Amino acid sequence: MLVSAPKYTSRIQKGGALIPEMRQLVRLWTNAPTDENKDAILRSNPLGKTTRSRLADVLNRIFVPRFVHGAIPCAWKILRTLEEAGASSAILRPIYYWFTARSEPLLSDFVTEYLVPRRATGLRAVGVPEFISWLGTKDMGWSEIVGIKSGRAILAALRDFGVLDGKAKKTLVRPPLPLGAFSFIAFCLSQLGVAGRDMLEHPDWTLFMLTPSDVEHLFLEAHQERLLGYHAAGTLVNLDFPVGSAEEYAHVVVRK
């Protein structure tokens, strides 16, 4: 069952995408209580952080809110299935992006409310001033420095996730979404109760700049590759998957 989205927070300023670090923690996390996991990681410092406080920030402000107690609880277990199945970085990056966006409304809303309409008008350049302008519509009451730091982290994260391109000057691009990654996200959505035409029109696909027509095209491709079964007749849409668990489906996706 989905958990209602939390209020905006500025925690992302403690770390953007941090994909290598998140992948390493996903592989290290266990079923032990959260505090026990954190204590073990703080003692061993597997990420090689220069200070204990920096490592604690990564755990408390980034990893745990996204992948342990996030909008999809225990997301790390789902991601672990892909890591252990040997999924490529190309498949993993958009899936980590999707899970991150689910638990970071500040990031997901900036993409869907600001970047997607901006792309539709043909505008591509994006910087901190644009983020600050959008943030101003939210009446958060944050200080200027918090807004700037959050904006820098958001833009850096979106660059690392493939939504933006460039270093000092960033431009908006359509993030790559390999068929295996698309199919795995669709499987996760189906496990969350999304079905039928709602799957085609689900707002999460907007994170990847996809229209319902784009989504249907990808489903037809995935059907041809036998990653899933997609059948549509008029307004009726039926979707099925060859296996029932994330662990099994991770292997299906990787084999393809």
Locate 148 and state its tokens: 């700037």
* Residue 50 pLDDT > 60: yes
Is residue 241 a contact partner of residue 182, using CB atoms and an 8 Å limit?
Answer: no
CA distance 97 to 90: 12
Query: Burial, 57: exposed, middle or buried (Cβ in 10 Å; 0-12, 13-18, 19+)?
Result: middle
pLDDT, position 235? 83
As a whole-number percent, the residues of the chain with pLDDT over 90 amount to 88
Q: SS3 of 165, please?
A: strand
For 240: left if phi > 0, alpha if psi spans -120 to 50, otherwise beta; the answer is beta
pLDDT, position 252? 97
Q: In sequence order, what are the beta bridge partners of 164?
A: 172
CA-based nearest residue to 219, from 177, 248, 179, 181:
179
pLDDT, position 9? 92
Contacts of 218 (CB under 8 A, 6+ apart): 177, 179, 182, 210
C-alpha distances out from residue 77 to 30, 69, 190, 246, Å = 9, 12, 17, 9
CA distance 205 to 69: 23
CA distance 222 to 227: 5
- 204-221 pLDDT per residue, tens: 999 999 999 999 999 999
| Residue 87, phi then psi, degrees to nearest 5 | -65, 145
∠ at Cα 247 (241, 253), nearest 5°?
55
Locate 207 and state its tokens: 């994170």
Q: How many residues does the chain have?
A: 256
- 87-130 pLDDT per residue, tens: 999 999 999 999 999 999 999 999 999 999 999 898 889 999 99
pLDDT, position 2? 37
Q: Tell me what the pLDDT averaged over the chain comes to.
A: 93
* Residue 40 pLDDT > 70: yes
| Residue 20, phi then psi, degrees to nearest 5 | -60, -40
C-alpha distances out from residue 58 to 100, 177, 210, Å = 14, 27, 31
- 164-209 pLDDT per residue, tens: 999 888 999 999 999 999 999 999 999 999 999 999 999 999 999 9
Is residue 250 a contact partner of residue 81, using CB atoms and an 8 Å limit?
Answer: yes
Locate 135 and state its tokens: 């943030």
Locate 62 and state its tokens: 């980034």
